[in-house]
């Protein structure tokens, strides 16, 4: 059974850093791209970043480019999102999501999310 | 970026009645080489992550009830619920995956009238 579990969320001051993690089970992580998608309180969905199955290709939303870094460790079955220079507008629930097929950007399994609050 | 616009924002529907949600993309998301529309629909219930319902505009994900159907092509799409059930109360999002970044509509809240 496919599972994705996020962790690492919390309250952080503007300008500081936070690292959230997604641990997966029930499938071979090395065969799939993993994405982060966020949802600000009461708002819609915003795609944040992807790391391809090969771990080489990584793409980011313009709103986080240069501040966020996605990485993966297939041996640990985790995908991390390092978030630096955090802003109030980064406050959101952060979901990790598996893509249905390589490079498809269709999200077939999602975690429950981890809450990140950026506030002084 | 491709902008996805859904209508309406809120949709009250009586139990057993049909619900229809529209989604329009700012440019075509039909890829001519394979004749596929790069559009997905998701359902999100309160406190839960989104759930994939439909992809390629009209292909139902495994396990999704057949009262859910998707239609449309090019830049205009519709998600239909043929007979609304109480468990269908949720926010529905369309998403294009034609180009990076993938983008979502603002969401349509379906509720019981």
pLDDT tens digit at each of 113 positions of chain B? 999 999 999 999 999 999 999 999 999 999 999 999 999 999 999 999 999 999 999 999 999 999 999 999 999 999 999 999 999 999 999 999 999 999 999 999 999 99
Residue range A55-83: mean pLDDT, rounded = 96
Instruction: Please state, in angstroms and rounded to a whole number, the distance separating the CA atoms of residues B38 and A67.
Output: 29
Residue range A111-118: mean pLDDT, rounded = 98
Tell me which of A107, A112, A113 to substitute to probe the interface with B (most B C-beta atoms closer than 10 Å).
A107
Q: What is the DSSP letter of B102?
A: P
Q: What is the pLDDT of residue A102?
A: 83
Q: Prior bond to B26 cis, omega within 30?
A: no
- Neighbour tally for B84: CB within 10 Å: 21
Q: What is the pLDDT of residue B77?
A: 98
* Contacting residues for B69 by C-beta, under 8 A, at least 6 apart: B54, B58, B60, B79, B80, B82
Instruction: Please state, in angstroms and rounded to a whole number, the distance separating the CA atoms of residues A97 and A1.
Output: 15
Query: For residue B100, which residues of chain A lie inside 8 Å, CB to CB?
Result: 59, 105
B55 in A contact zone (CB under 8 Å): yes
Instruction: Please state, in angstroms and rounded to a whole number, the distance separating the CA atoms of residues B98 and B91.
Output: 22
Q: What are phi and psi of A30, to 5 degrees?
A: -70, -10
Classify A7 as helix, strand or coil: strand
The total number of residues shown for chain A amounts to 120
Cα dihedral across residues B49, A108, A5, A2: positive or negative: positive
Buried b (16+ CB within 10 A) or exposed e, A51-85: bbbebeeebbbeebeeebbbebeeeebbbbbebee
- Among B48, B52, B100, select the one facing A107 at the smallest CB separation: B52
Residues 75-94 on B with a CB inside 8 Å of A are 93
Which residues, listed in sequence order, are joined to residue A70 by a DSSP beta bridge? A81
Q: What is the pLDDT of residue A103?
A: 83
């Amino acid at each position: 059974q496919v599972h994705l579990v996020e962790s690492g969320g919390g309250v952080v001051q503007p300008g500081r850093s936070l690292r959230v993690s997604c641990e997966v089970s029930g499938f071979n992580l090395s065969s799939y791209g993993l994405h982060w998608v966020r949802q600000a309180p009461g708002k819609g969905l915003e795609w944040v970043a992807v790391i391809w199955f090969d771990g080489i290709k990584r793409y980011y939303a313009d709103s986080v480019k240069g501040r966020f870094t996605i990485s993966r460790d297939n041996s640990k079955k985790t995908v991390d999102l390092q978030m630096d220079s955090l802003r109030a507008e980064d406050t959101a629930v952060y979901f990790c999501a598996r893509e249905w097929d390589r490079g498809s950007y269709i999200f077939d399994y999602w975690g429950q999310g981890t809450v990140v609050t950026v506030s002084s | 970026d491709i902008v996805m616009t859904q209508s309406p924002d809120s949709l009250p529907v009586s139990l057993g009645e049909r619900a229809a949600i529209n989604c329009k993309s700012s440019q075509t998301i039909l890829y001519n080489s394979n004749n596929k529309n790069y559009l997905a629909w998701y359902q999100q219930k309160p406190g839960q992550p989104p759930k994939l319902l439909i992809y390629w505009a009209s292909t139902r994900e495994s396990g999704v009830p057949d009262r859910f159907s998707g239609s449309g092509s090019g830049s205009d799409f519709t998600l239909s619920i043929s007979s609304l059930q109480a468990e269908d109360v949720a926010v529905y999002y369309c998403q294009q995956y034609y180009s990076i970044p993938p983008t979502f509509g603002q969401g349509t809240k379906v509720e019981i009238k």
